[in-house]
Chains A and B, each alone.
Chain A
Amino acid sequence: MTMQAESTVAEPRVKPVETFRDDFTYSNSPEAIRRFPFPFPEDSYMYSVNIEPHNGGPPGSAYAPAFDIDEHYLSEIEERRKVLEEDPSRCTVLPHMMTAQWDTLELLMESLSTDYPQHFSLTREGDRWTWENRLLGIHDTFTFGDPETLPMEPFEYITRQVQGDFTLHDQRDDMLYMDGGMLTCQADWSLQFDLGMNFYEWHGPVPRAHEMGVFDRALKYLLNLQVGHPVRRLNWTMTVNPRMDTSPENYHKWGIDRATVTPENVGDKAHLRVELQALYRLPRSNAVLFSIRCYLISVNELATIPKWAKRFHRVLKTLPDDLADYKGFIDYRPIVVEYLSQFDDGEELAYGAAPE
């Protein structure tokens, strides 16, 4: 592997396929743990308009590339394939979003081939584009703008090759609409159900944030998003077992996991789930692309970073009940808090989410 001096993104050593279901073989290497996008700079957490420019980050961090590719690439691509095989409607785009589909394909291909030239390349001769994805052994030539020249619609084609979920948003009359998406690793919300909703409607179930004015301000911000100036934010919850597909569609199958957390297994079973969300204005369609890159880390993995164990302990302990209830871990929270308390000596922690 060639190291480029100016490269600021990770040189991911991609692992063979691990599983996010059944035997759950997924785990994080020490390097993956250190670059985990830990979301808590302070000892407590509350909703806020936590939006900042998505303009890179420390070399090797999850924030450095436009779209982060890491050691779990093959595993997440395979998990997505399985979910789509069981339920093709997890990828749905409304018909008026075809231009936005091509915008998405272009943005993802350009970003990946720029950030990871060792894995992806894009060659253009006019409308004739050749895309190479060496991690998956894909080498396709197609005509940009002509869906007939791809094996499937452009949005599905490219998002099957990128980690994380994606949603597509039309902007009309100063409002954003959920007019498409690829959703196979979501934190308990349904694309099929939310499709076509506006920004306030799809955020309907969230407690407090409407009353706090968070969504009014966030929407105003997003309506003015400019091409070439993406923004990002972090969101988080907890998940039992490293399960990517915590969809409401399958909740009757995975909900039971929440009843299996015990003081003995909590360190391995309970996971912090962080979404690195980025928002892009798309140039031709004026649509907004929302990327939801999901990271899972077990409590034991997280506890290998002493500052994070202390911080997470304090955040969880003080999180208001309505948020813990909405996020779905209020019942097993006491077990996690009790377990984490062994790592927390009460030391005062400096502001910031970095590992040290």
Chain B
Amino acid sequence: MSIPGIKSKPVYTGLTPDPGGCQHVLAGEGPGAEALLRLRRELAEGNDGMAPEASAVALFYTAGAGPDQGEELAEGGRDFPQPWRFPDTEGLCSALGDYLADSGMGVRLYVAGSEAFLWRVVATARDGVGISEAAIQMERCGPPARPVCCIHCKTTDPAVSTTVYQCPGCGLNLFVRDHFSRRLGVYQGVCVDAEAPGDVPEPEELDS
């Protein structure tokens, strides 16, 4: 029932060092730590010996729903400053927003974590600080759960893993569309049995 290839659905690529950046800010959640470790290694190696100063790299991390890989991040990067670790995404974003507000031109933001985390961080940087999406890279890590907003009652569930799920706000059974709003950082959930009340299909795992 999902419409294949809806053009608003984001395509996530891996994180790669942006040689145009002079300040590199890494933000990760849970299993996103691995992507950040890889990126930090690549930053250290540098492109053609153009490795950034260790002080030009900052790392923000929260375990989120887990696993907590904060220790690995702390060990993995001797020459870089220690990661800042936060108990939750809100705390991370608040500190990240302050940090970015003081950063100059040429800042590059790399984000790794669940899809809800990615867009929460984008909102902080883009809407809060005015950093353009072109300066932000994202890598989606962990299970393919999606942030979905109920079009009827506007409640967002940050981690929906099946299409057809029950809205925690209004209780309607929602079909998850591939239509995605970058402004809101959510997919659209639409009542699945509006035309045949009670006829709710079996939930199917979302695989992307």
Contacts and interface: CB of A to CB of B under 8 A. Distances in A.
A255 B191 contact: yes
Contacts of B151: 190, 193, 248-249, 251
B7 A203 contact: yes
Contacts of A252: 152, 172, 191, 194
Contacts of A194: 181
B182 A255 contact: no
Contacts of B6: 204-205
A193 B184 contact: yes
Contact of A210 (B7, B181, B190): B7
A217 B180 CA distance: 23
A45 interface: no
B78 interface: no
A253 B197 CA distance: 11
A331 B180 CA distance: 26
A59 interface: no
A57 B136 CA distance: 49
Nearest to B174: A252
B197 to A, nearest CB: 7
A256 B195 CA distance: 4
Interface residues of B, number: 25
Interface string A247-273: 011111111101100000000000000
Interface string B58-90: 000000000000000000000000000000000
Interface in B1-56: 3, 5-9
Contacts of A326: 3
B199 to A, nearest CB: 10
Given A248-B190, A249-B152, A252-B191, A207 B196 contact: no
B182 A196 contact: yes
A202 B180 CA distance: 9
A196 B183 contact: yes
A162 interface: no
B188 interface: yes
A195 B3 CA distance: 21
Nearest to B4: A207
Nearest to A215: B7
B120 interface: no
A321 interface: no
Contact of B8 (A202, A248, A254, A258): A202
A63 B4 CA distance: 36
A201 B195 contact: no
Given A195-B183, A252-B152, A252-B172, A205 B177 contact: yes
A208 to B, nearest CB: 11
A203 B151 CA distance: 18
Contacts of A248: 151, 188, 190
Interface in A276-291: none
Nearest to B184: A193
Contacts of B178: 204
B193 to A, nearest CB: 9
A201 B194 contact: no
B7 A256 contact: no
A204 B190 contact: no
A200 B195 contact: no
Nearest to B177: A205
A194 B180 CA distance: 9
A197 B172 contact: no
Interface in B157-202: 172, 177-184, 188, 190-191, 194-197
B181 A197 contact: yes
Nearest to A211: B5
Given A205-B179, A259-B196, A200 B7 contact: yes
B186 to A, nearest CB: 8
Contacts of B172: 252
A326 B179 CA distance: 14
Contacts of B179: 193, 204-205
A194 B184 CA distance: 9
Contact of B195 (A196, A202, A258): A258
16 contacts: A190-B151, A193-B149, A193-B151, A195-B181, A200-B7, A210-B7, A251-B151, A251-B190, A251-B191, A252-B191, A252-B194, A254-B194, A255-B194, A255-B195, A256-B195, A326-B3
* Closest CB pairs A-B (n = 10): A255-B194, A196-B183, A204-B8, A252-B191, A204-B7, A201-B8, A204-B6, A255-B195, A248-B151, A252-B194
Given A249-B152, A251-B151, A251-B194, 11 more contacts: A193-B149, A197-B181, A197-B183, A200-B8, A201-B7, A202-B8, A205-B6, A252-B191, A256-B194, A256-B197, A258-B195
